[in-house]
Amino acid sequence: MRISLSSVLAAVLASAVIAEPIRHSSSKIPQGFVTTKGSQFELNGKPFWLPLLLTKTDVDSTFKQMQAAGIKVLRTWGHNAITEDELAGAKASGLTYYQVWNSGDWILNDGPQGLERLDYVIEAAGKYGIKVILTFTNNWSGYGGLELYIDNIVGANQTHDVFFTNPKTIASYQRYVKTIVNRYKNSPTIFAWELANEARCLGDLPAGPACVPGSNTVVNWYKQQSDFIRTLDPYHMITTGGEGHFYWKTPEAASDYNYNGQAGDDFDADLTLENIDFGTYHMYPQLWYPSEDHPGTGFSVEAWGSTWVKQHAAGKITCSSLPSVDLNDFFFSEAGKKANKPVILEEFGAGPTQVNMTAFYHNWVNTALGTDHA
């Protein structure tokens, strides 16, 4: 039988109009499948939280999987601060929080939604043979970062770097650090204390005129805080949590934030500090060089990352990762070797504009393993 194309299309369109749509029915969802109930997620009829491990069962399950994967060290926030006007929402949602800021000061939450949860994380980590790096604050506003100290203690219209030099912000930070260190200093599960995540002259607030190349604002703060912690705890290691910014006094580095000291940091100097036991650095090439990450620029995210890794290890490395540097230029970066201290690649990432991220992640990790990284 001969059927015209128009009759077929008409039949399809008609069936599309009269057919009942397939609806998602939570009553038919098998066990183990996540579904919704109103504005919440549910798993097997119980509330399911995406970003939070609210129960000891959640924590144990996570550590069990980490142990099976061969993970030996976990880095986690030893901080999460909120303001008084966020408190009701935090309690209702089950959010974990350790500090509540109000009227220029903070109070500690050592209850069941606070440090009692961190207590169990440390306990469970030890049970599964996993060490923990605890970070004391964040350079950025996420998780109640260091700018809450500025906002509440110093006030409005300040620059970010005030945190590192103001006696009152330093005293408040040290009061919190002392609380955490004294709570866990007898635990061998702690791998190291970490002073801050990604400390630099600027954050969500801009940098001030005193935080410039050569000021060593962040380096000096690292020394002050690591010396302070050592008076509290003679045994655990201390590290910075920094991104690994250099201060290279070369023409090639002068215009590059990662190399010219503008961050207020100096990776080489960090490792010379007596109470900094090992170095950390991070790596996000596309965030740091957005104008370079385009076809035709000659910039390779994979190659830049591999060189950044080498620059934080011992030995002779090329400076060609700087977009303006000639491929034949060389620089000797032997911070880890000179200080005789370990170095770890603590964070890294790349976005979707690069094909085959898996391949160059593998390359970055192998480069780190092949250049005496810890």
Asked if 347 is an active-site residue, the reply is: yes
- pLDDT for residue 310 is more than 50: yes
- pLDDT for residue 360 is more than 50: yes
Region 113-118: mean pLDDT is 97
β-strands 237-239, 279-283 pairing: unpaired
- pLDDT for residue 212 is more than 70: yes
Contact 104, 168 (CB under 8 A): no
pLDDT at residue number 321:
41
User: What pLDDT digit, counting tens, does each position of 245-261 carry?
Assistant: 999 999 989 999 999 99
* Residue 259 CB neighbours (<10 A): 25
- pLDDT for residue 17 is more than 90: no
pLDDT at residue number 322:
44
pTM of the model: 0.83
Asked if 198 is an active-site residue, the reply is: yes
Helices and strands in the chain, H and E counts: 13, 14
Q: What is the DSSP string of 183-222?
A: HHTT-TTEEEEE--BS--S-SSSPPPTTS-TT--HHHHHH
* Lowest-confidence region among 88-92, 346-350, 367-371: 367-371
pLDDT at residue number 43:
73
- pLDDT for residue 330 is more than 50: no
- pLDDT for residue 111 is more than 90: yes
- pLDDT for residue 2 is more than 50: no
- Predicted confidence band of residue 9 (pLDDT cuts 50, 70, 90): very low
* Residue 360 CB neighbours (<10 A): 19
The catalytic position among 147, 194, 198, 346 is: 198
pLDDT at residue number 41:
65
- Predicted confidence band of residue 370 (pLDDT cuts 50, 70, 90): confident
Say if residue 96 is exposed, middle or buried (CB neighbours under 10 Å; 0-12, 13-18, 19+). Answer: buried
User: What pLDDT digit, counting tens, does each position of 41-77 carry?
Assistant: 677 777 665 556 778 998 999 999 999 999 999 999 9
The catalytic position among 123, 292, 302, 347 is: 347
Name the token pair of 247. 């201060």
